[in-house]
Amino acid sequence: MAAIIIKFRKKPAKIEGYEALLKRLPLYHPKQELVEDFLKSSKAGFGGEERLDQLMKYFSPDYPYLIIQDYSISSSMELQVDTILLTQSCIILLEVKNISGRLRFTLNPSTLRQTTASGIERGYKSPLVQMEMAKWKFANLLKSIDISLPVHAFLVIAYPNQIVEDSPPGSIIWSADEVMIRLQNFKMPPEIISIDEMHRLGQQLLSLYSEYNPFPLAPKIGINPDEIKNGVFCPACEITKMNKIKRSWKCEGCGLTNPEAHHQALHEWFMLIKPSITVAECKDFLELEHLSSARRILSHPFYKKASDSKVRRYYMDKHVGIHEK
């Protein structure tokens, strides 16, 4: 049976956001290390999830199923699940963790302690508790749409170099390498819904999906927007600012010219500073000489105009938005 993935995973937008933030933070900013940590753990998390996707490529159980990768609902209940397996008998949620080193699960209170290869110890919220919460929320979601399917949830450790030293009694932790076989051999309870109902449920879940919006990052991390560097950065050398020349931008470092370079800079404004921008803010942020140039740039179809009482604000058109990258 061919893989039936009804929603695919994509690179989380926050990774690009943290990269832009690091580029635009002044050197030796007190929050730099924290942002580097966020970037590292976001990349590790995504890497772990992608590894599981890769290992599931040949998944072919003898029961009909659907897969949803990276599911979230941001409204009332804030649910996030790395992978959902829908079947006619039950729903299986997979929560993937990629935290390297030695991992110890503590109880009373439940936490996860990590000891890195270099001996540094860190504490995390218990992924087992997080998984139980997701299971409970998902069961409630099903109840709210009148579906009575049992929900199972399993914690998946992404890489073999993550050594789980002790897991709480009764907990089941799988390595990513064994997930496919475990699921193929899973003892399915009796079927509760028909194949058509399973497909309908898949579509219903997708219609409830809403992407988690992590932006704007600076205020969320407690960084004053005034501390963020202005300017249009070169897409090739990344750390050099480009100069405005006639109808284009030019990097003095590598010589690259790019007439569209300001769009990336504005995209970074929306990720880092706030969801709207005025003509004056655009002029300052892009370090333009004239308001008229800022106005011309913002008249591009990428941006949507909205007028409030005094100042005209521009928003990034959601159809070309960062969330679809």
- What the block records as the tokens of 309 is 């009482």
| Residue number, 258 or 278, with CB nearest to Zn ion | 258
Note whether 253 binds Zn ion by CB under 5 A: yes
Cβ of residue 239: shortest distance to Zn ion, in angstroms? 9
- What the block records as the tokens of 146 is 């009148």
Q: Say which DSSP state 226 is in.
A: G
By CB under 5 A, name the one of 35, 180, 228, 251 that touches Zn ion.
251
**Do residues 255 and 304 lie in contact, with contact meaning Cβ atoms separated by under 8 Å?**
no
Angle at 5 (CA atoms; ends 2, 7), nearest 5 degrees: 165
Note whether 321 binds Zn ion by CB under 5 A: no
Note whether 237 binds Zn ion by CB under 5 A: yes
**Do residues 20 and 273 lie in contact, with contact meaning Cβ atoms separated by under 8 Å?**
no
How many residues line the site for Zn ion (CB under 5 A)?
A: 8
Cβ of residue 253: shortest distance to Zn ion, in angstroms? 4
By CB under 5 A, name the one of 254, 291, 306, 311 that touches Zn ion.
254
Residue type, 153: A
**Do residues 188 and 89 lie in contact, with contact meaning Cβ atoms separated by under 8 Å?**
yes
| Residue number, 131 or 261, with CB nearest to Zn ion | 261
**Do residues 275 and 214 lie in contact, with contact meaning Cβ atoms separated by under 8 Å?**
no
| Residue number, 206 or 236, with CB nearest to Zn ion | 236
By CB under 5 A, name the one of 173, 234, 265, 297 that touches Zn ion.
234
d(CA 113, CA 206) in angstroms, rounded, equals 35
Cβ of residue 32: shortest distance to Zn ion, in angstroms? 22
d(CA 113, CA 322) in angstroms, rounded, equals 34
| Residue number, 183 or 232, with CB nearest to Zn ion | 232
Summarize as ranges the residues that interact with Zn ion (CB under 5 A).
234, 236-237, 240, 251, 253-254, 256
